């Protein structure tokens, strides 16, 4: 990795690889153990929070601080320390500390320096608590979504780890870890349990091989993908990376479009109407998390549309990493008014015009933006 932000990108890629390893450990335990409720609790907004959320946040914060100095690292992240630091959460904190140390013990696997001592509970809490930045138009800060698509995570489906660096309001690097992203894109639409699927025919493991990290640097016009290291892989860092690019499909009838799985924060009826108007004929690919951005960047889908229901505000950590990767892979990302997303106004995408439209190219993008303007007044949004 050469050029501007080379060191930041290298550290971020390694950190996301380790974060994905942590998530895989926790997910294996969730889907294989009857004691899942010991690993999951509910936040105020009723979304599940897992050991993985806090573990990833602790590891990424710790690694960035070790690399650049804690005084130079500012992080905007989804989880706060309060639910983990009260007296009733001692067992949960102990589990987080345990999984963090398990992963750090294998740091050399990711080209990182192993700590010379065990990371204590106080250090884990300090690392998580360091993620309290609020963003804004000036300076440099990291944006982390430790487990994007937590419902997908606890259900054994798609989820992502997203890490981005923002400087002076612009996303300059993005790294997206997708531990369950299948090698075969057709399997994206198959809602499987990745560790316990009795329907898998024998000898088909290669078809179900999964897991990758995608990354890009603003202005490079290149996006890259590395495979995740599996337990049986005998490879050393650095893992081989290959260039990825968006699809060349521009005919709406041939295009695949993505949308969120959950209906709570997305108006699927409007996107269905919009898809019909534009001429998108395929069934929508409903995928959890920023994996939708990964699907566009890798050329597995052509369109991602999201139109939030009234009152829902998009957070920057749900989009920052994905936006720069799609853009550098050759795609287009704007709001529904055709304007670039604004990451300079705090933790929310303030000023967002109606929704978000992500496309593999300008031809499809222009058709969708035109259809939004034509259909909006008759919608229920």
Q: List active site positions.
A: 53, 150
**Is 145 known as a binding-site position?**
yes
Look at residue 50 and give its three-state secondary structure. strand
**Is 318 known as a binding-site position?**
yes
Give the integer Cα–Cα distance in Å for 29 and 351. 41
Angle between helices 51-68 and 6-32 (to 10 degrees): 160
Give the residue ranges of DSSP H helices in 130-263: 150-154
85 CA to centre of own chain? 26
Look at residue 76 and give its three-state secondary structure. strand
List, in sequence order, every residue forming a beta bridge with 176; answer none if it has no partner: 162, 214
Which residue is listed with tokens 């395929």? 282
CB-based contact 289:152 (threshold 8 Å): yes
Q: Which two tokens stand for residue 68?
A: 């650049």
Give the integer Cα–Cα distance in Å for 273 and 128. 42
Give the integer Cα–Cα distance in Å for 375 and 273. 8
> Between the CA of residue 315 and those of 78, 156, 319, 320, 374, what are the distances in Å?
9, 24, 7, 9, 27
Which residue is listed with tokens 């995928």? 287
3-state secondary structure 78-122: CCCCHHHHCHHHHHHHHHHHHHHHHHHCCHHHHCCCCCCCCCCHH
Give the integer Cα–Cα distance in Å for 156 and 140. 35
* Residues of the binding site: 78, 145, 148, 318
Annotated binding site for Mg(2+): 78, 145, 148, 318
């Amino acid at each position: 990795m050469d050029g501007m932000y080379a060191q930041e990108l290298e550290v971020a890629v390694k950190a996301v690889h380790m974060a994905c390893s942590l998530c895989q450990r926790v997910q294996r335990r969730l889907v294989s153990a009857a004691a899942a409720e010991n690993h999951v609790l509910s936040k105020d907004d009723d979304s599940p929070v897992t050991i993985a959320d806090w573990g990833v946040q602790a590891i990424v914060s710790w690694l960035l601080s070790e690399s650049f100095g804690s005084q130079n690292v500012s992080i905007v992240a989804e989880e706060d320390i309060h639910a983990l630091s009260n007296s009733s959460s001692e067992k949960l904190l102990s589990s987080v500390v345990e999984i963090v140390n398990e992963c750090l013990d294998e740091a050399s696997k990711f080209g990182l320096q192993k700590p010379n001592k065990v990371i204590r509970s106080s250090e884990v809490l300090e690392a998580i608590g360091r993620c309290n930045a609020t963003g804004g138009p000036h300076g440099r800060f990291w944006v982390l979504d430790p487990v994007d698509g937590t419902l997908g995570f606890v259900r054994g489906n798609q989820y992502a780890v997203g890490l981005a660096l923002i400087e002076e309001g612009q996303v300059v690097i993005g790294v997206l870890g997708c531990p369950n992203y299948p090698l075969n894109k057709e399997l994206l639409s198959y809602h499987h349990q990745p560790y316990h699927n009795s329907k898998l025919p024998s000898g088909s493991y290669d078809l179900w091989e999964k897991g990758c990290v995608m990354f890009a640097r603003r202005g490079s016009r290149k996006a890259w993908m590395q495979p995740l290291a599996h337990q049986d892989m005998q490879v050393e860092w650095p893992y081989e990376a290959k260039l990825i690019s968006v699809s060349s499909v521009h005919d709406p009838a041939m295009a695949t479009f993505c949308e969120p799985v959950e209906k709570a924060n997305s108006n699927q009826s409007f996107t269905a109407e919009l898809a019909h108007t534009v001429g998108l004929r395929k069934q929508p690919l409903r995928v959890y998390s920023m994996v939708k951005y990964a699907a566009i960047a890798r050329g597995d889908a052509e369109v991602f549309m999201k139109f939030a229901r009234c009152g829902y505000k998009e957070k920057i950590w749900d989009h920052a990493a994905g936006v720069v990767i799609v853009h550098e892979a050759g795609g287009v990302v704007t709001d529904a008014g055709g304007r670039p997303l604004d990451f300079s106004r705090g933790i929310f995408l303030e000023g967002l015009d109606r929704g978000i439209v992500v496309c593999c190219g300008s031809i499809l993008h222009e058709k969708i933006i035109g259809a939004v303007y034509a259909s909006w007044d008759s919608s229920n949004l």
